Copies of this chain bind each other. A is one copy, B any other.
Amino acid sequence: MLLFPDLTTLDLVGPYDVFVKAPCFEVLLVGESTDVIRAEGGLLLKPSVSLQDCPQLDILFVPGGKGINELLTNSNVISFLQEQAKKAKYITSVCTGSLVLAAAGLLDGYKATTHWRSIELLKMFGVAVQDSRVVRDRNRITGGGVTSGIDFGLMLTALIGGDEMARIVQLQLEYHPEPPFHAGSPQTAGLPVLQRTKELTQPMFNLRKKIIQDLLKGKKQDI
């Protein structure tokens, strides 16, 4: 699981807590270095291994968050993902982590998804975006926004450890959701909430779009 500054904590910890409770996984937390990093909101996390010292992983996982803006053009991280992906059995992400996979070319020719706000940005990479909470296309598994990571984690557990294991973990996590509102998707949130949320996230959207445009321009020039 990749750690980086300004990641969205719940993108990481939704699947992490599933993996920790499922005996079919061994979790490794990988950072550019093992220095403490600051996640969104200030939570301080310490990676257990650096990119350089990381062994070959069976499952690559990239969470999302504000910090992916920097990753999109971070050649250390992109090269790491590209190298690991050659032998990894599954290549996965939650939320805007899929934009990083796309920037590394790892979603070329695959169906995938991302946070609803970033669907348009994922399409810019030419990815066949599919409107589902979790999308599996062969060995690529991508989750939608933040909390979809719990659904993703349980799905991957079922795939690797079997349905019974996934059900046991779901019960341990008491994942019997009762959201107080019916507002968790653009389709259900209602227009005023959707518009306000779009407004609030517009500066980040614009900035990210610009980074991706520049990145794609650069790639074309390389060819």
A residues neighboring B (CB under 8 Å): 8-10, 12-14, 16-17, 19-20, 27, 29, 36, 40-48, 95, 115-116, 133-134, 144-148, 150-151, 154-155, 158, 163-164, 166-168, 170-181, 183-186, 188-190, 192-194, 196-197, 200-201
Structural contact, B173 and A10, CB atoms closer than 8 A: yes
21 A/B residue pairs, CB under 8 Å, sorted by A: A9-B20, A10-B173, A12-B13, A17-B146, A19-B41, A20-B42, A133-B178, A145-B172, A145-B174, A146-B175, A147-B176, A147-B177, A150-B179, A151-B179, A163-B181, A166-B180, A166-B183, A168-B193, A171-B184, A171-B185, A175-B179
- Asked if A172 contacts B151 (CB within 8 A), the reply is no
Chain B residues within 8 Å of A176, by CB: 133, 147, 179, 184-185, 188
A29 near B42 (CB under 8 angstroms)?
Answer: yes
Residues A48 and B42 in contact in the complex (CB < 8 Å), given A167-B181, A173-B146, A177-B177? yes
Q: Which residues of B contact A8 (CB under 8 A)?
A: 17
Contacts of A200 in B (CB 8 A): 168
In the complex the two chains form, is B41's CB within 8 Å of A16's CB? yes
Given contacts A19-B41, A167-B189, A189-B167, contact A173 B147 (CB under 8 A): yes
Shortest A201–chain B CB gap in Å is 7
A172 cross-chain contacts in B, Cβ below 8 A: 145-146, 197, 201
Indicate whether A43 sits within 8 Å of B29 (C-beta atoms), given known contacts A150-B177, A174-B148, A174-B185: yes
